[in-house]
Structure 1
Amino acid sequence: MELMSSYLISLLLFSFLVLSPRAFATEVTDTLGKGQNVTDGETLVSAGGSFTLGFFSPGVAAKRYLGIWFTLSEDVVCWVANSERPLSDSYGALVISAMGSLLLLDSSGQVVWSSNTTGIGSTSVQLLESGNLVVSDESGGAAMWQSFDHLSNTQLPGTKIGKNLWTGADWQLTSWRSANDPSAGNFRYMTDAEGVPQNILLDGDQVKYRTGPWNGLWFSGVTEMATYSDMFTYLLTSTPSEVTYGYVAKPGAPFSHVLLTDDGVFRHLVWDHSSRKWKVFFQGPRDICDHYGKCRAFGMCNANAPLASFCSCIKGFSPTSPLLWKIGDTSKGCRRNLMLDCGNGASTTDGFVVMEGVKLPDTHNASVDPSITLEECNTRCLANCSCLAYAALDIRGGSV
């Protein structure tokens, strides 16, 4: 009987282990409190399971980083804490300090990265379903720090790029140095606050690409944005205190993100559930004509034309240097064939040529008046000798 009892107890214990393995597994959570830590191999997972925070190695296994990624696509890392200071082993830990800062420690206990926050009461950290990592003071519930204010190479719905004109706070995407190195690369994607706002992509300090100015619905040079307007709401904020751009996913929209690649291309990607792959919604530059100022002043670029002749001058203009133009050097742009009548006091034959399907030019030196009609803008521009062209500021009323 004694032998039989031992056998039954062993059998019952085995059945419990087989049927209830989760009882002995680490509990999945989205929150980190004081006295707790996340070590290599452990994770925080957002409440709905969309995002995961943990340690990863993009290339060399010896280099470890703390980051946030899409749970269904672990190769898409949205945010990296220690991009400039990788850990050299798998003994790092994410903890909350006694003062309320979120700290990443290496194996020797040295601080590799910090949120630089101070909590009055008890501090907690939560990974939200939006992908935002938030450090909060539990005594008041106020967010003291969030990853959405410290962007990497990825923009998620709910984040914004641009500038606070009062505080100087700046939000921009910065490319990785390479696919295996998340330290800061050479490319930046930001909102240009001069003139009518537009987004620009910089290679160092040189503009490589621009979206074209905001037209009230989307950026004028990114017509693809209209295709997915049933899934996303695009938000351009332009006030005396702030000029920012962001987007929000509508209910039922698939996962999406904007990625600035290490070779200087920004892509808005949408998750395709059927193929379980990321689909390019739009990107910039999309072709040779999307590069900044490709055909220079008064030049037109046609990406479908033969490579040697993709630049041409608009009606009424000719190459400034015909010889250089013939050998493919369009750096001098185009000039007028005839001088304008403007300012000579006589009746004028000046007029405008309608340009369709083009990206509006830079508006750094533009005059903006939202109170007048397009016809009034025509008249005002024709009377101003320094005015070169005019266009509708906001197409939400049907203007083009």
Structure 2
Amino acid sequence: MKSLANYIFFLILTLFCSQTCIINIPSVAAITSMKPGDPVEKKLWIANPNTPILNSSGLLTLDSAGTLKITSGGKTVVNIATPLLTGSLIARFQDSGNFVVQDETRNRTLWQSFDHPTSCLLPGMKLGYNLTTRQNWTLTSWLVSSTIPASGAFTLSLEAIQDAFQLVVSRRGEVYWTSGAWNNQGFPFLPSFRDSATTYQYNLNLESGTDGMFFQFEATKGSFPSLELFSDGAIAAGDGSIYTRYNKFCYGYGGDDGCVSSQLPECRKDSDKFEQKRGDFIDLSGTTTSIL
């Protein structure tokens, strides 16, 4: 993995300890990236998307047994138990954006955030599964992109469909969109992967064997691509450019854009589509906001 010199990665929590250490943390523990000169931060990985800490009492600890915990008010919010080993344990943030717990004595990684993706896929991360370790790598959308990191309705996975490997977006467990069959160059319904005119360039790789399969990509020179699964099921680049070809939604009618056919209510016609007109929501402060 090359050094990503054009981007700054930082972890809201950073710790180095051989016994037990405690630090204060905010409501969400997140890995964030920022490009020098660009004030916009992008959260790439969330430790506790569904268990936010609603006050300032959050603590993160790493003990000599290799257990990484986030606690709040005496209750455990996140508990990551690594294999019980003796030696010098360290939690390290790598240049790739990977947060790891390592046994320095044996030079062994005990746990890594790359094995537990949330909504973003970075160079070197995987989508797929390993039958030997029973590790499954999938993306899960935020409930509301950029604002509410709780698990949303959509997941992105790599699946074997009709003897072909495809990326699959599912909505609440039902197949919503497929990428088309992998052809050693990319996926038919994600043409921007191979488009030299796009902002980011991808070196794609798909490997399969008796113990599983996975898809990943690497960064080319001068580029740091990422993939994000938005809360509406769209697949986007690191700058927010949409890669999926359908227009806003898949309505269950099928088509040549990857949208799959689904069982529709009898009251719906093939030409029926939804259009947002107006709505209101109330945030945690109790303020009502209108959506036009």
TM-score (norm 1): 0.55
Structure 1 residue 90: Cα displacement: 1.6
Tell whether 2:232 aligns with 1:263. Answer: yes
- Answer yes or no: is the 8 Å Cα contact 2:138–2:155 preserved in 1: yes
Match of 1:213 in 2: 181
Tell whether 2:71 aligns with 1:113. Answer: no
Tell whether 2:56 aligns with 1:71. Answer: no
Tell whether 2:146 aligns with 1:177. Answer: no
Cα deviation, 1:18-50, whole Å, max 9, x if unaligned, reads: xxxxxxxxxx9965223433323xxxxxxxxxx
Match of 2:288 in 1: none
Match of 2:156 in 1: 189
- Answer yes or no: is the 8 Å Cα contact 1:197–1:243 preserved in 2: no
- Answer yes or no: is the 8 Å Cα contact 2:168–2:178 preserved in 1: yes
Match of 1:242 in 2: 212
- Answer yes or no: is the 8 Å Cα contact 1:152–1:173 preserved in 2: yes
Structure 1 residue 291: Cα displacement: 6.5
| Structure 1 runs not aligned, ≥5 long | 1-27, 41-54, 56-63, 270-277, 302-323, 331-400
Distance 1:30 1:288, change over 3 A: closer
Paired letter, 1:284 = T
Structure 1 residue 252: Cα displacement: 2.2
1:122 aligned residue (67, 88, 105): 88
Structure 1 or 2: larger strand share? Answer: 2
Distance 1:78 1:243, change over 3 A: same
- Answer yes or no: is the 8 Å Cα contact 1:79–1:153 preserved in 2: yes
| Stretches (4+) displaced over 4 A | 28-31, 288-293
Match of 2:24 in 1: 39
Report 1:1-400 matches (<5 A): 31-34=15-18, 35-40=20-25, 55=26, 64-72=27-35, 75-106=41-72, 108-117=73-82, 118-179=84-145, 180-194=147-161, 195-228=163-196, 231-253=201-223, 255-269=224-238, 278=239, 280=241, 282-287=242-247, 294-295=254-255, 329=270
Q: Take 1:289 and 1:100, find their aligned partners in 2: how far apart are those partners? A: 44
Q: How much is the aligned-residue C-alpha RMSD, in angstroms?
A: 2.8
- Answer yes or no: is the 8 Å Cα contact 1:136–1:143 preserved in 2: yes
Distance 1:120 1:227, change over 3 A: same
Structure number with greater CO (CA < 8 Å, separation at least 6) is 2
SS at match of 2:81: coil
- Answer yes or no: is the 8 Å Cα contact 1:213–1:221 preserved in 2: no
- Answer yes or no: is the 8 Å Cα contact 1:101–1:119 preserved in 2: no
Distance 1:223 1:291, change over 3 A: farther
Give the share of equivalent positions with the same residue, in percent.
25
Q: Take 2:148 and 2:13, find their aligned partners in 1: how far apart are those partners? A: 29
Match of 2:278 in 1: none
Q: Take 2:21 and 2:110, find their aligned partners in 1: how far apart are those partners? A: 19
Distance 1:328 1:103, change over 3 A: closer
Q: Take 1:94 and 1:252, find their aligned partners in 2: how far apart are those partners? A: 35
Structure 1 or 2: larger helix share? Answer: 1
Structure 1 residue 139: Cα displacement: 1.2
- Answer yes or no: is the 8 Å Cα contact 2:34–2:41 preserved in 1: no
Structure 1 residue 289: Cα displacement: 9.7
- Answer yes or no: is the 8 Å Cα contact 2:62–2:69 preserved in 1: yes
Q: Take 2:60 and 2:42, find their aligned partners in 1: how far apart are those partners? A: 21
Paired letter, 1:134 = V
Cα deviation, 1:349-385, whole Å, max 9, x if unaligned, reads: xxxxxxxxxxxxxxxxxxxxxxxxxxxxxxxxxxxxx
| Structure 2 runs not aligned, ≥5 long | 1-11, 258-265, 272-292
Structure 1 residue 185: Cα displacement: 1.2
SS at match of 2:29: strand
Q: Please tell me whether Structure 1 or Structure 2 has the larger radius of gyration of its CA atoms.
A: 1
Paired letter, 1:196 = A
Cα deviation, 1:71-91, whole Å, max 9, x if unaligned, reads: 346542111111121112123
Q: Take 1:99 and 1:167, find their aligned partners in 2: how far apart are those partners? A: 21
Cα deviation, 1:231-251, whole Å, max 9, x if unaligned, reads: 321011121212111100123
Structure 1 residue 120: Cα displacement: 2.0
How many aligned positions are there? 242
Q: Take 2:75 and 2:45, find their aligned partners in 1: how far apart are those partners? A: 22
SS at match of 2:243: strand
Structure 1 residue 183: Cα displacement: 1.8
Q: Take 2:251 and 2:186, find their aligned partners in 1: how far apart are those partners? A: 19
